Amino acid sequence: MKELKILALLIGLTLITYIGIEPIAHAVMHPHMEGPDFQYQDLKAIPGQGDAVKGKELTQMNCTYCHSIKADGVPKPVTKEDLIAKYGRSIEKSLSIQMTFDRISNRYLSEMYTAAVPLDLSNVASVFDEKYLKHFIKDPAGTAFESTFILHKTKKMHLDIAKAKSEEQIEKIETTTAADISTFKAKNKISMPAQSHLTSQDINDIVAYLKSVSKPIDGRESLALACGRCHGVAYDKLEPTTPSKILNKYLGMVPPDLSMSIRSKGHEYLTIFLNDPQKVLIGSSMPRVGISEETESKIVSYLESVGDSKKEDRDSLGMWVILYMTIFSILAYLWKRKIWKEVH
Ligand code: HEC
Ligand code: HEC
């Protein structure tokens, strides 16, 4: 009888801890974060169908003096002669190796604009969200930075105003918010110029063309395309395409290597951050990149496979531990019965 009481007490205490205390502790240590928004609700839809043939022409006129499109035979806007003119005859020989040519031409392009190296446009339509892509082409900085910074900053302002005690305080909150917004706008720029001369129909045509050359790509390639101008994955021999000196000038810092980000940040944080950095790190100099939900889950799985390759082993070990504990408890119980039988 005594044992049963002890057992009941133990079960009671465990339940109180599990149902009562744990969720409170969890809520304090990991405050609830709003999930990712893959609808990109802050952006207005640009509806309509495009014409890929017209789009090709528009892309050649407006985009290929910065971006290559390997899938359609459009090379990088740099020649060997440009590189020799800038860096000297001594590099001529090494330029016949594709990897060296890529590296030096990336350096050339990033130095020319003091900016991240423009990505190859072949597969952008299969990696980025379509609505986001249309907006980005028209207004890169507004779409990647300002829209969401202003959204979160304004939300926070209203929360602060609701808590304010006087008119003066409210006024102060409003002026600091306005000042923060203009500082942020001046600081964070995307070096791709806004294409405000393009009509909505032009944008639809360009995106129709980009879709027509696009192929689906895996997690590693998606990361290289969407993040690779700023981040590397050293564990998997992925180097950022932009030299770190230029990144430092362009972004005010060198973005971290992503090899271990799944361990240091965790799955939930990454899913929200990659969708919209400003939601969790307001003021961050990482732009919103606008990848689709599918691309994001490919990239996160890839980062898991690089940074946490033992995760599957660990998860499957759990079942064995439970099985071991069960067998062990039965044996312990049988043993206890035997001993006490002799005593009584
Ligand atoms: C003056 C050079 C230049 C021109 C012209 C240009 N781009 Fe860009 N583009 C860039 C640079 C540089 C970046 C990377 C910006 C960054 O990371 O800050 C970029 C980024 C992009 C991205 C990545 C978006 C993201 O969310 O990561 C896409 C897509 C893109 N450009 C498409 C286009 C299209 C389509 C055109 C033509 C309508 C175009 N660009 C014209 C320089 C240019
Ligand atoms: C234009 C450059 C740029 C691009 C493109 C970019 N990032 Fe970043 N990223 C940054 C910078 C800068 C930081 C540091 C931000 C900060 O501390 O404010 C950063 C930070 C991060 C962090 C650390 C977040 C933290 O809380 O410290 C992760 C993880 C990350 N980026 C992943 C990605 C992934 C994945 C992609 C592609 C989908 C990507 N980034 C695209 C520039 C970029």
What confidence tens digit (pLDDT) does each residue in 164-220 have? 999 999 999 999 999 999 999 888 879 899 998 999 999 999 999 999 999 999 999
Q: Is the pTM of this model over 0.85?
A: yes
Whose CA is closest to atom 40 on ligand 2? 227
- Separation of CA 286 and ligand 2 centre (Å): 5
285 closest CA partner among 257, 239, 247 = 247
- Separation of CA 252 and ligand 1 centre (Å): 20
pLDDT of residue 166: 93
238 pairs with which residues across the strands? 233
As a whole number of angstroms, the distance between CA 9 and CA 7 comes to 5
Give residue ranges with CB within 6 A of ligand 1.
59, 62-63, 65-67, 113, 115-116, 118-119, 121, 124, 128, 133, 136-137, 144, 190-193, 195, 206, 226, 229, 289-290
Rg (CA), the chain: 28
pLDDT of residue 37: 95
pLDDT at 343 over 80: no
As a whole number of angstroms, the distance between CA 157 and CA 178 comes to 10
pLDDT of residue 344: 67
pLDDT at 330 over 70: yes
Atom of ligand 2 nearest to the CA of 299: 35
As a whole number of angstroms, the distance between CA 288 and CA 38 comes to 12
Note the ligand closest to the C-alpha atom of 220.
2
153-158: long-range contacts (C-beta < 8 A, 24 or more apart)? 153/177, 153/180, 153/181, 153/184, 153/282, 156/282
CB 55 within 8 A of CB 210: yes
CATH number 3.90.1580.10 is the correct assignment for the domain at 217-309 = no
Three-state DSSP at 268 gives helix
pLDDT of residue 1: 75
pLDDT of residue 31: 67
Torsional sign, CA 173, 175, 176, 177: positive
Q: Helix crossing, 80-87 with 98-113: angle to 10°?
A: 70
pLDDT of residue 188: 80
pLDDT tens-digit readout, 103-132:
999 999 999 989 999 999 999 999 999 999
Domain boundaries, the chain: 1-32, 217-309, 319-344
In 3-state terms the chain splits into helix, strand, coil percentages (rounded to 5) of 65, 0, 30
In this prediction, residue 316 has a pLDDT band, given cuts at 50, 70 and 90, of confident
- Mean pLDDT (the chain) is 93
In this prediction, residue 311 has a pLDDT band, given cuts at 50, 70 and 90, of confident
pLDDT tens-digit readout, 4-50:
899 999 999 999 988 888 888 877 777 677 899 999 999 999 999 99
Which residue shows structure tokens 């071991």? Answer: 324
| Cβ burial, residue 42 (10 Å; 0-12/13-18/19+) | middle
Q: What are the two backbone dihedrals, phi and then psi, of residue 14, each rounded to the nearest 5 degrees? A: -60, -45
Question: Which residue among 43, 192, 209, 246 is best mutated to probe the pocket of ligand 1, counting the most ligand atoms within 8 A of its Cβ?
Answer: 192
Question: Which residue among 64, 67, 284 is best mutated to probe the pocket of ligand 1, counting the most ligand atoms within 8 A of its Cβ?
Answer: 67
- Separation of CA 226 and ligand 2 centre (Å): 11
